[in-house]
Amino acid sequence: MNDQTPTSVERATKLKGLGHSRKRVEDVRFTQGKGNYVDDIKMPGMLFGDFVRSPYAHARIKSINIDAAMALPGVVAVLTAKDLEPLGLHWMPTLAGDKQMVLADGKVLFQGQEVAFVVADDRYINADAIDLVEVEYEELPVVTDPFKALEPDAPVLREDLAGQTSGAHGARKHHNHIFLWEVGDEAATDEVMADADVVAEETVYYHRTHPCPLETCGCVASMDKVNGKLTLWGTFQAPHVVRTVASLLSGIEEHNIRVVSPDIGGGFGNKVGVYPGYVCSIVASIVTGRPVKWIEDRMDNLMATAFARDYWMKGKISATKDGKITGLHCQVTADHGAFDACADPTKFPAGFMSICTGSYDIPVAYLGVDGVYTNKAPGGVSYRCSFRVTEAAYFIERMIEVLAIKLGMDAAELRAKNFIKKDQFPYQSALGWEYDSGDYHTAWEKALKAVDYDALRVEQAERVEAFKRGETRKLLGIGLSHFTEIVGAGPVKNCDILGMGMFDSCEIRIHPTGSAIARLGTISQGQGHATTFAQILASEIGISADSITIEEGDTDTAPYGLGTYGSRSTPVAGAAAAMAGRKIRAKAQMTAAYLLEVHDGDLEWDVDRFIVKGAPEQFKTMTEIAYASYNQAIPGLEPGLEAVSYYDPPNMTYPFGAYICVMEIDVDTGTHEVRRFYALDDCGTRINPMIIEGQVHGGATEAYAIAMGQELAYDEIGNVKTGTLMDFFLPTSWETPTYETDFTETPSPHHPIGAKGVGESPNVGGVPAFSNAVHDAFRPFGLKQSHMPHDQWRIWKIANDLGLHS
Ligand code: MCN
Ligand code: CUM
């Protein structure tokens, strides 16, 4: 080798593989306005569909008169449940094993429910026609409180289920009850609680909110009757699942359905579910023979598509006098709205809520979740949540604080005392999970040191004294959070959606000149997959990430996969990418051996080439091997260089993190200021540190929104009080705090490259950090629990209730 030959390190740098803060390749088109979103799709003869929606939360429909609407020039069709009924499409199955009205059948069950679908030449005609559809309603009593919904004389919401004593998840104990899901050992937990030195009890409410992606949900359906082919472009987080569902519902064979997710302007879980708009657009396109577009407006999106949270969590936590936790009991009343349309793996009707023992070594625990129908929109689970992990983390991180108060102990110390220790991994939790890896003490100590925790506590104590002396009206809160996530659904043995196992896939094709295209079963909604999946492959196959195109979201070309949500892309499809890459390398090794005239066992991999062991000057680069794969007859090997991997992960991955929020609170105005927000994430092997940082900034900002003001609020008669961005708090750069990010790196032992997910972590860990900061500020004055969101009024109210205004 001469001095000009690049070293392994130099060659590795050029690949822009794992660990490289590679710039996002997709941003070239996004920052230049050249993205291709669903609403950018325009087809000749395209019609527009839009809904007549119910103004009432609960009402019987006495009649629907479409005559005036149909008479309006430009209106092509008005669909009602009666039109869909002969097709068996007036109701559709939900992802949770329930069914949901596509168009109101006999009655409406939430405000904004889809009543009729107007199809017209343009959106303006649509809007006029919607006003002309006459619907006669008879109001019925409304239930928006899940506890009231379970009272004996509560109105029957789901008349279609009358007399059914069991549903998709077992027995129903009341006409508005959906299921009771139980995990753990209640008798043993009760026993521990009865004998415990200390038991802290609290009801923790995680309010209803909404992911509110900048791009609302929508689709374009186009039925080509000549070729019998249906194409559906849409905002889908799981395109293959949509294709399978569309095939089952319509009877059109799957190879004749093409589902495409083009660029998606944020998903956050909102685009996992199947919505009436998709079904109606398909039907309208089949009926009219023309393409039909449906795009929600902001109010439609907030009122009618997948909400998040709405969990009432009644908790008990027991401990010894010196703070060793002995047991945890959690009883949840879960408000699922009018239809159970939560997106969870089938066997987990309350998602992964059973991760609620958090980061702590808790010997015995019980979780019971009652799902309840109310007159609110269906959906659920969504919003950077990993299937209810947000609720679980908020619950345990509040319970720890409540226990610390009861014990008179420092909350940071209480956490450290109870963390699962490094040598306990793989750790079997009391509620049935096997945590793959973790090092919580190291992360926690790093976090406490970074913010100088002890000094903050001193400052806080001084502040309280100064407040009492009347020298300041501001309090200081220190919000702690140590979360454990569970992402990467999931092992096919226990995770499926509608019967489809939750594996994922990657197919890679190397071109003769040494560039490549890889297709995956996932779909980016802003996470940067085109950038990061190429990095995984670059490190595996020695081709620069810049020479690897990543394609997702077109079911005609992508291998079958279950899509992107629950931070599953890295743990599942990322693993599939690594495995497909290894298949490529295995074949490449045989090719290289032939070319170098050695036994393949005499070769070793070196960044982007195979070298002869002990003779590194003899090598074949991947580019040379790729060329040979297509241009040379190699005995015993087929031409070409392609591989596909369908990856079924052996376990979930368990990312974790330590977040600390320092907050100033003005007691008189209820305003707050985030002075500092420190976020340490451990997502195992880091693929792209810059993208991880971006994910943390975004997720933490959504956490900030949720904790400090964002809410889907309803009044007693079921009106959505926060249906526009005037009332629904979406932070802008003005409100958004500054974040300090940090990391530790504890690889997953079972993932091919040791990576865990990260997209949902900052929301999971962020909400308790912000909320605990508010609580912590008032702890010296006796506050134990106060419900989110901590908006200005609610903070003022806490201060007022504690007598701090007198
Ligand atoms: N990553 C990494 N190293 C790791 C883990 C992840 O570099 N060890 C990178 C990944 O390569 C990917 C990103 O971080 O580019 C997120 O990866 P992952 O945690 O696997 O999550 P998914 O790609 O499956 O994305 C889903 C997750 C979810 S469920 C929600 S909700 C959410 C989130 O991502 N929605 C988002 N982040 C979002 N970010 C944007 N911009 N838009 C959304 O809609
Ligand atoms: Cu739960 S929101 Mo993400 O899983 O799409």
ipTM summary value: 0.99
Q: In which element (H, E) is residue 77 found?
A: strand 75-79
- Whole-number Å distance, alpha carbon 775 to ligand 1 midpoint, is 30
Q: Residue 505 contacts by C-beta under 8 Å, 6 or more apart in sequence? A: 520, 521, 558, 559, 560, 561, 573, 576, 644, 645, 646, 647
Query: How far apart are the C-alpha atoms of 148 and 716, rounded to whole Å?
Result: 11
Type of residue numbered 118: V
Selecting among 385, 495, 506, 661, the annotated active-site residue is 385
* Domain 8-35+504-647, CATH number (from 3.30.1490.20, 3.10.300.10, 3.30.365.10, 3.40.1670.10): 3.30.365.10
Q: How many residues does the chain have?
A: 806
Q: Is the separation of the CB atoms in 316 and 200 below 8 Å?
A: yes
What is the token pair recorded at 320?
A: 């010894």
- Whole-number Å distance, alpha carbon 351 to ligand 2 midpoint, is 11
Instruction: Tell me the best of 487, 760, 767 to mutate to test the pocket of ligand 2, counting ligand atoms within 8 Å of each CB and taking the most.
Output: 760
Give percent above pLDDT 90 in the chain.
Answer: 97
DSSP symbols for 726-793: TTS----TTTPPP-EEEE-----SSSTT-B---TTHHHHHHHHHHHHHHHHHHGGGT----PSP--HH
Q: Which residue has the tokens 């195109």?
A: 549
Atom 5 (ligand 1): residue with closest C-alpha?
757
**Rounded mean pLDDT of the chain?**
97
Three-state DSSP class for residue 541? helix
Selecting among 24, 290, 309, 384, the annotated active-site residue is 384
- Whole-number Å distance, alpha carbon 758 to ligand 1 midpoint, is 6
Task: Provide the pLDDT confidence category of residue 1 given band limits of 50, 70 and 90.
Answer: very low
- Whole-number Å distance, alpha carbon 382 to ligand 2 midpoint, is 5
Q: What pLDDT does 3 receive?
A: 56
Show me where the domains of the chain are located.
8-35+504-647, 38-140+216-264+271-304, 308-488+652-801
Distances (CA, A) of 498 to 17, 92, 252, 283, 372: 36, 13, 18, 22, 21
Ligand 2 proximity of 381 Cβ (cutoff 6 Å) = yes
Q: What pLDDT does 490 receive?
A: 86
- Whole-number Å distance, alpha carbon 235 to ligand 2 midpoint, is 14
Distances (CA, A) of 659 to 461, 479, 502, 700: 21, 8, 30, 10
What is the token pair recorded at 461?
A: 């104590």
Q: State the chain's maximal CA–CA distance in angstroms.
A: 90
What is the distance, to the nearest Å, from the Cα of residue 69 to the centroid of all Cα atoms in its chain?
Answer: 39
Atom 13 (ligand 1): residue with closest C-alpha?
527
Mean pLDDT of 186-202: 98
Beta-sheet pairing, 177-184 with 642-647: unpaired
- Whole-number Å distance, alpha carbon 402 to ligand 2 midpoint, is 29
- Whether residue 628 is predicted with pLDDT greater than 80 in this model: the reply is yes
Ligand 2 proximity of 565 Cβ (cutoff 6 Å) = yes
- Whole-number Å distance, alpha carbon 312 to ligand 2 midpoint, is 20
In degrees, to the nearest 5, what angle opens at C-alpha 711 toward C-alphas 806 and 484? Answer: 100
Instruction: Tell me the best of 567, 647, 654 to mutate to test the pocket of ligand 1, counting ligand atoms within 8 Å of each CB and taking the most.
Output: 567
Ligand 2 proximity of 566 Cβ (cutoff 6 Å) = yes
Q: In which element (H, E) is residue 335 found?
A: strand 325-337
Instruction: Tell me the best of 437, 524, 570, 693 to mutate to test the pocket of ligand 1, counting ligand atoms within 8 Å of each CB and taking the most.
Output: 570
- Whether residue 790 is predicted with pLDDT greater than 80 in this model: the reply is yes
Q: What is the pLDDT of residues 589-625, one digit of tens each?
A: 999 999 999 999 999 999 999 999 999 999 999 999 9
Instruction: Give the atom of ligand 1 at the shortest distance from the alpha carbon of 211.
Output: 31
- Whether residue 2 is predicted with pLDDT greater than 70 in this model: the reply is no
Q: In which element (H, E) is residue 586 found?
A: helix 575-596
Selecting among 100, 111, 113, 237, the annotated active-site residue is 237
Ligand nearest to the CA of 757: 1
Instruction: Tell me the best of 236, 268, 270, 706 to mutate to test the pocket of ligand 2, counting ligand atoms within 8 Å of each CB and taking the most.
Output: 268
* Domain 38-140+216-264+271-304, CATH number (from 3.90.1170.50, 3.40.462.20, 3.40.250.10, 3.30.465.10): 3.90.1170.50
Q: What pLDDT does 240 receive?
A: 97
Instruction: Give the atom of ligand 2 at the shortest distance from the alpha carbon of 343.
Output: 1
Instruction: Give the atom of ligand 2 at the shortest distance from the alpha carbon of 211.
Output: 2
Instruction: Give the atom of ligand 1 at the shortest distance from the alpha carbon of 522.
Output: 24
Report the candidate in 319, 308, 242 with the shortest Cα–Cα distance to residue 523: 242
Atom 2 (ligand 1): residue with closest C-alpha?
687
Residue 734's CB is within 10 A of a number of other CB atoms, namely 5
Q: What is the pLDDT of residues 716-764, one digit of tens each?
A: 999 999 999 999 999 999 999 999 999 999 999 999 999 999 999 999 9
Three-state DSSP class for residue 408? coil
- Whether residue 571 is predicted with pLDDT greater than 60 in this model: the reply is yes
- Whether residue 230 is predicted with pLDDT greater than 70 in this model: the reply is yes
Q: Is the separation of the CB atoms in 254 and 541 below 8 Å?
A: no
Query: How far apart are the C-alpha atoms of 751 and 575, rounded to whole Å?
Result: 6
Q: Is the separation of the CB atoms in 504 and 568 below 8 Å?
A: yes
- Whole-number Å distance, alpha carbon 746 to ligand 2 midpoint, is 23
Q: What is the pLDDT of residues 108-136, one digit of tens each?
A: 999 999 999 999 999 999 999 999 999 99
Ligand 2 proximity of 268 Cβ (cutoff 6 Å) = yes
Q: Is the separation of the CB atoms in 560 and 259 below 8 Å?
A: no
Answer whether the bond into residue 789 is a cis peptide, omega within 30°: yes
Q: Which residue has the tokens 């907030």?
A: 302
C-alpha torsion 605→610→616→617, nearest 10: -160
Ligand 2 proximity of 384 Cβ (cutoff 6 Å) = yes
Ligand nearest to the CA of 390: 2
Q: Which architecture does CATH list for 308-488+652-801?
A: 2-Layer Sandwich (3.30)
Query: How far apart are the C-alpha atoms of 747 and 312, rounded to whole Å?
Result: 34
Whether 8-35+504-647 and 308-488+652-801 share one fold: the answer is: yes
Report the candidate in 530, 151, 563, 221 with the shortest Cα–Cα distance to residue 374: 151
- Whether residue 694 is predicted with pLDDT greater than 90 in this model: the reply is yes
- The reply to whether 237 belongs to the active site is yes
Atom 41 (ligand 1): residue with closest C-alpha?
526
Mean pLDDT of 487-509: 95
Instruction: Tell me the best of 305, 307, 384 to mutate to test the pocket of ligand 2, counting ligand atoms within 8 Å of each CB and taking the most.
Output: 384
- Whole-number Å distance, alpha carbon 723 to ligand 2 midpoint, is 21
Rg value, the chain, Cα: 28
Distances (CA, A) of 46 to 120, 158, 264, 277: 9, 37, 21, 16
Task: Provide the pLDDT confidence category of residue 260 given band limits of 50, 70 and 90.
Answer: very high
- Whole-number Å distance, alpha carbon 757 to ligand 1 midpoint, is 7
Three-state DSSP class for residue 183? strand
Report the candidate in 382, 375, 385, 389 with the shortest Cα–Cα distance to residue 335: 375
Q: What pLDDT does 706 receive?
A: 98
Instruction: Give the atom of ligand 1 at the shortest distance from the alpha carbon of 264.
Output: 44
Type of residue numbered 137: Y
Query: How far apart are the C-alpha atoms of 680 and 661, rounded to whole Å?
Result: 12
The pair phi, psi for residue 72, each rounded to 5°, is -70, 125
Cβ < 6 A, ligand 1 pocket? 266-269, 384, 525-529, 532, 564-570, 683-688, 691-692, 695, 698, 755-760
- The reply to whether 397 belongs to the active site is no
What is the distance, to the nearest Å, from the Cα of residue 382 to the centroid of all Cα atoms in its chain?
Answer: 5
Atom 40 (ligand 1): residue with closest C-alpha?
526
